[in-house]
Amino acid sequence: MMKKNFPKILAGCTAMVLMTGALLVPSMAVNASAHQAVPHLQQASYIGEAKAKEIALNHAGVDASKVSWIFAKQDYDHGRMEYDVEFLFGNKEYDYKIDASTGTILGFDYDIEWHMAGSDTVSQSSTDIGAEKAKSIALKHAGLAASDTAFIYANLDYEIMPSLVGSEMCIRDRANTDIGAEKAKSIALEHAGVAAADTVFINVELDYDDGMRVYDVEFFSGNKEYDYKIDAASGAILGFDFDVEWYTVSSKASDYIGEAKAKQIVEQAAGTTGVYTEFKLEVDDGRVLYEGEMRSGWMEYEFEIDAVTGAILDWDADWD
């Protein structure tokens, strides 16, 4: 019986495979066709790289003939096609994100570069010690013999710092000059063209960058997030950017519980008071919250508090 039925079973399996194949092949062909069509979707409606460059240059107030270099590339981000435009003007490097369909500027920033524009190379110093001497210094400091090592590479590199007129007195005077956090806020707001009443300040922090003391200023206004880097001594804007977010953050103080209430919630949860080593307003996926750390004796508390409802979103207590 088994021998008689086997060919029939085999024939039936073959028929099923062929039928399945017949069903799958058209489906695969349709999917492949659809997949190939996606990159070309609405291609004719895009503004083009030349127009994207023009929009970026006009916004920056820069003449195309004066830039050292400029390039644009198409990219897909946040479910939409964009143009990334970058160019160098003087000692400022600009970066723009532009909607490929509408030409809307979605985000931009510039940074001050510490080199002379138009020069792609740095002149070799006449007092260069050379690669072999550099190897010798490294070996001596490590307490190793050359025969016991395998050199991977000895590479000449440059780190260019802003000139501070080389005197110790000049550097000391610069270090003692500080515009203050409030002035840094004012400079950032004026440059952004935003009124203080229309913003939510997220963070104003004194930091060091490339040997310079700078204020990092971050704030929201509507659906735009701004980031500024401001020289703490002179008030010069060293860099800034803004990004258009998918959510809008309220700028009304009455919409939030406030710092005092947030700290009260933390202390009630901890059952004690303490010293706040960090406390700031933050935005996470459209939700405004207070986050920070409080120390009390040997205990350290880390927290996230919803700035609207006062709910504790994250809590961690460690013996430290």
Is the separation of the CB atoms in 274 and 293 below 8 Å? no
Q: Is the pLDDT confidence value at 5 over 50?
A: no
Mean pLDDT, rounded, for 49-70: 90
pLDDT score, position 275: 92
Please give the average per-residue pLDDT across 178-190, as a whole number. Answer: 91
What percentage of the chain has pLDDT greater than the value 70? Answer: 69
* Bridging pattern class, strands 237-249 and 275-284: unpaired
Q: What number is the average pLDDT over the span 210-237?
A: 87
* CA separation for the pair 16, 94 (Å, rounded): 62
Q: Answer yes or no: are the C-beta atoms of 163 and 174 closer than 8 Å.
A: no
Task: Tell me what the pLDDT averaged over the chain comes to.
Answer: 75
* Those residues with Cβ within 8 angstroms of residue 189's Cβ, 6 or more apart along the chain or in another chain: 195, 196, 199, 219
d(CA 205, CA 115): 26
Please report which confidence band the pLDDT of residue 205 belongs to, taking 50, 70 and 90 as the band edges. confident
pLDDT of residue 51: 93
> What confidence tens digit (pLDDT) does each residue in 262-282 have?
999 999 999 999 999 889 888
pLDDT for 19 equals 40
Closest CA relative to residue 218, chosen from 277, 281, 263, 260: 281
Say yes or no to pLDDT of 39 above 80: no
Q: What is the pLDDT of residue 137?
A: 82
pLDDT score, position 128: 67
pLDDT in tens, 111-162: 776 544 444 433 444 566 766 777 788 777 777 777 776 555 555 554 434 4
Look at residue 90 in the predicted model and tell me its pLDDT.
83
- Cα–Cα distance for residue pair 53/234, rounded to 1 Å: 32
pTM of the model as a whole: 0.41
Range name among 140-154, 281-295, 301-315 with the lowest pLDDT average: 140-154
Average pLDDT over residues 89-108: 88
Biggest CA pair distance of the chain: 106
What pLDDT is recorded for position 127?
Answer: 60
Q: What pLDDT shows up at residue 40?
A: 42
pLDDT, residue 6, reads 41
